[in-house]
Structure 1
Amino acid sequence: MKRIPLKKNDDNTAPEYFKVRDRVRRYTRDEHNVRLQILRIEKIENQVLDRRLHDVSKRMHLRNCKPELLIHGTQTRYVEQMIRDGFSYQRKGLFGQGFYFYTDSSKAARGCGRDTTKCLLLCDVQLGNTMAMKSADRSLNLSRIKSAGFDSVYGVRGTKESGGVFNDEYVVFRSEQIAPRYLVWFTSKL
């Protein structure tokens, strides 16, 4: 596993630094009341997790799909294990016990705990065939979605009034569907 610091002053890494920084900054929403101040960005290369992602892609219900770059917020004490060994703790949420990802960095940041320095992981997530949900179903799990012909769950944005979610949420139930690509260290103001 390699961690490569991306720096805005380095001609070799600046383009990638700004791509990631802009992605994080662009996808903040006022209703989350979170202002992100990026401290540093690291690129993650992990051949073991890349191989797992590649292998699981062959077993998706939807063939030839590319992973989506989605955002996961976590507490700093879990980061090392997640980028080295992959995701292991599944959070119980509106769409069952799984690994939750977001398009909005400010929504993901809300899962970072109370640490002064916080972490966002931008991950390639192999969604495969996605089950769209407009209301919560906390009983969802891998066997239920697989038997229905799906590989992941998408909580449809703007469905809060019908028991769904305000912002996009994606849930996968297998850690093999996730490969961390970037680690963004930040502080936030509420």
Structure 2
Amino acid sequence: MPEFFNVLPPDAARDLLYQHITTIVESETVSTEGATGRVTAVAISSPQALPSFRRSTMDGYAVRAADTFGASEGLPAMLAVVAEVEMGKPAAVDLDAYEAVVVHTGGMIPETADAVIQIEHTQKIGAGSDQQPPFEIEAFKAVAVGQNVLQVGEDVELGEVVLPAGHYVRPQDIGGLLALGITTIDVVR
């Protein structure tokens, strides 16, 4: 009686399968915007770190965290606000002891600052709300190093694989790729 069903060991089954399939996959380059529903032909790596600079996660003041140590409602830290970093501009100011810089959400913070204190935890001293730096503030809360600061590459590191080969491209992938400056990708034909 002939065998009805022949069971192969896994390695033999895999070898048989590989004999009948081709591993050459044709690909084409398409615009990132039009890649929804396509499959990536190769892994896509980030050409840059995101964010590419240290940025504030809050409106407030970039400070040296050590200058706020022990600050409280009863004994606030006194800080001299020496400048404002405008959105989209580099933070070209160095902070000395007990100095601060006005920063906005998403804005760059100076290299010598290591934290951001929220504006809600401060009060201007003897100044109108529209006064421009220089002026002084009271800080009613201590901040830790790195608090309210996104570090370079915290979201995506330089060279990090953001989409693997064989990935089905979804609408949410498109925004991430474009944010990294990736305007074309290789997809399976």
Give the TM-score normalised by structure 1. 0.29
Higher relative contact order (Cα pairs below 8 Å, separated by 6+ residues): 2
Q: Which has the higher helix share?
A: 1
Larger Rg: 2
Give the TM-score normalised by structure 2. 0.29
